[in-house]
Amino acid sequence: MLLTLSASGIAYPSFAQDAGTEAVSVADAPADAALSFDAALSALPEASYSDKESLLQQIAVSGHPQAGAVIRALLDGRLLATADGAIVIAAVDTDAATADTAAAPTLSVAATGAAAPAAPADSLKKIGTNNRLRKTLKGLVAQLSLADPDAAVRLAAVKEMVRTLDDTTVAALRAHRDTEADAKVQAAIDTGLALADLSSSDADTRLAAVQHVADDIGAEVYNGLLPLTQQNDDGSFAEPDARVRSAAAIALRHIESRRKLYGGVETLFFGLSLGSVLVLAAIGLAITFGVMGVINMAHGELIMLGAYTAYVMQQLMPQQIAMATMLSIPAAFVVSGLMGVAIERGIVRFLYGRPLETLLATFGLSLVLQQLVRSIFSPLNRSVQTPAFMSGSLTINDALSLTYNRLYIVVFMFIVFAALLALLKRTSLGLKVRAVSQNRAMARAMGVRTEWVDAATFGLGSGIAGVAGVALSQLTNVGPNLGQAYIIDSFMVVVFGGVGSLWGTLISGMSLGVVNKLLEPYAGAVMAKILVLVFLIMFIQKRPRGLFPQKGRAAEG
């Protein structure tokens, strides 16, 4: 039995008397198909799970216009039987829609698609499925999707069918192959047919199939080739032909090496994303620490305030998550920046030259800010929604996919870094900040209002910490302790890169992020952090001023 596609795109069974006889499609006998559909549909409620598979196959190949709706409804839990034995489709899953059993869901007749009389939910019986049956249903839905005008839908359908290859799906793929116009879909069909040929009785066919899929790194290909290289319990090979075994072994080694390569690329990407987070968290600290020499232990709470700003913006604009997230960036900069100015004017400016007292004061302030947030938002973590354009992942191939939220954060970090670098290099504020950081006394003698520069610099660094909080809100839950997870890492990045050096912060943050992720698979997450800390201690012993030490008389002193 073969499957052919009718004009409507539905897969039908075709019967041929011999190789030289033209196949006759069931589409040529619509009356019989309708009878087959009605009989199979009526038998579904009382059939066993194994019988349901056969009935669903009959429904799928019947050519009936309601076949697809019935199969999708059963997969979604919306195919129901009424008290008088009629089969209906609910608009939504009745279990998920309401807990009120007296509610009357919107129904349609499964056989015709026409509206059905309303019936209370407690008078309807859901036609059940199990895991195996759901797997069959997904394959049947994929077969029906081969006729979709969207190539992406057809490609997804082919990939789903390849996961559940059987005689029916293979026949459907062969029938659709010559009519498919999209090259990617054609390639996916060829891969599925080659996987089916791995079980052929002809050794040359199996060898050709192995050679065809040798460059494909998909899980289905790997799992299909692996049995060809394994031995049975009696010591014999599962694949009797030595040529096929050798080709399969070579293909598996090639697939494994490419998977390791792409796995390394993915680990590198995760390291860059972690490094980007560290840079965003530390770059504001590098400014305040470098210019004023202030150890601000409340820097993590300024990051936390930025994250909560993103949460509040989304609560104010619940229907426009993307817009709320974009507006939260300047809002977080303002909120954390103003808090930073208040901290500098109210506490820090009275403690210049006394680093230990500054550390204790800002540490106490961090506890106050944490408790303030707990009082306003409660101690529970808050979830910030990810905008649609940041959801999902960029799939490079079956072994490599890059999540959009981390990808955007890497890009966002470079944008913030470039903007800050331009501010410090090309504006009057940047000139004064650099002058104060290099020689405060000389800058004051030249007329620079160092108190104003200190406040502006602290506010700038704090504002960037708030922006970092917005980025972190897209990766983790927002809670009162959010900042504490990054304050120590931020100081590590600043000290390693060189106090007050933006380029040092960028390089050290990205380096520490990548090294941390490279070590995690071998040493574990905790041990990786310990090893990085040991490395930093040894490095600071050799270069106390970091990778890019600050220049100027103040630094030399």
324: in domain: yes
Q: Taking each helix axis from N to C terminus, what angle separates 131-145 and 151-163, rounded to the nearest 10 degrees?
A: 140
Task: Enumerate residues 6+ apart whose C-beta is below 8 A from 498.
Answer: 504, 508, 545, 546, 547, 548, 549, 550
Task: Yes or no: say if 26 and 63 are a contact pair by the CB < 8 Å rule.
Answer: yes
Indicate whether 204 belongs to any domain. no
Torsion of CA 481, 487, 488, 492, to 10 degrees: 160
Beta bridge partners of 109: 88
Compute the distance between CA of residue 514 and CA of residue 509 in angstroms, rounded to an integer: 9
Give the Cα separation of 406 and 393 in Å (integer): 9
Range of the domain at 100: 2-145
One-letter-per-residue 3-state SS of 16-85 = CCCCCCCCEEHHHCHHHHHHHHHHHHHHCCCCCHHHHHHHHHHHHHCCCCCHHHHHHHHHCCCEEECCCC
Inside any domain, residue 196: no
**Residues 386, 531 within the same domain:** yes
Query: Is 360 inside any structural domain?
Result: yes
Q: How far apart are CA 456 and CA 80, in angstroms?
A: 67
15 within a domain of the structure (yes/no): yes
Give this prediction's pTM.
Answer: 0.72
Burial 314-337 (b: 16+ CB within 10 A, else e): beeeeeebeebbebbbebbbebbb
Tokens of 462: 């704090």
Number of domains making up the chain? 2
Rounded Cα gap, residues 221 and 205, in angstroms: 16
* C-beta atoms surrounding 540 within 10 Å: 14
Residue 51 one-letter amino acid: D
143/155 Cα distance (integer angstroms) = 11
Distances (CA, A) of 278 to 311, 526, 534: 21, 17, 18
DSSP 383: P
Q: Which of 102, 120, 145 is the last residue of a domain?
A: 145
Contact 281, 302 (CB under 8 A): no
Q: What is the mean pLDDT of each run of 10 residues along the chain (557 residues)?
A: 36 34 34 66 86 84 82 86 85 55 71 83 84 81 79 84 80 84 89 89 90 87 88 80 90 91 90 90 82 82 93 91 92 93 89 83 92 90 88 84 90 92 86 78 82 86 92 89 86 83 88 88 84 86 77 48
Structure tokens at 203: 């050794």
Per DSSP, the three-state class of 10 is coil
Q: Hey, what are 465's tokens?
A: 């910490």
Rounded Cα–Cα distance for residues 254 and 191 (Å): 17
Tokens of 307: 């994250």
Q: Give the tokens for residue 404.
A: 């959009």
Last residue of a domain, one of 145, 177, 197: 145
Q: Does residue 434 sit within a domain?
A: yes
Q: Is residue 189 assigned to a domain? A: no
Residue where one domain finishes, among candidates 145, 180, 195: 145
Q: In which region does residue 148 sit, left (phi positive, over 0), alpha (psi from -120 to 50) or beta (all else)?
A: beta
Report CA Rg, the chain: 32
> Do residues 505 and 287 lie in contact, with contact meaning Cβ atoms separated by under 8 Å?
no
Q: What is the pLDDT of residue 104?
A: 63
Q: Both tokens of residue 437?
A: 């950081």
Is 59 contained in some domain? yes
Give the span between the Cα atoms of 135 and 192, in whole angstroms: 17
Residues in Cβ contact with 396 at an 8 Å cutoff, skipping those fewer than 6 apart: 262, 402
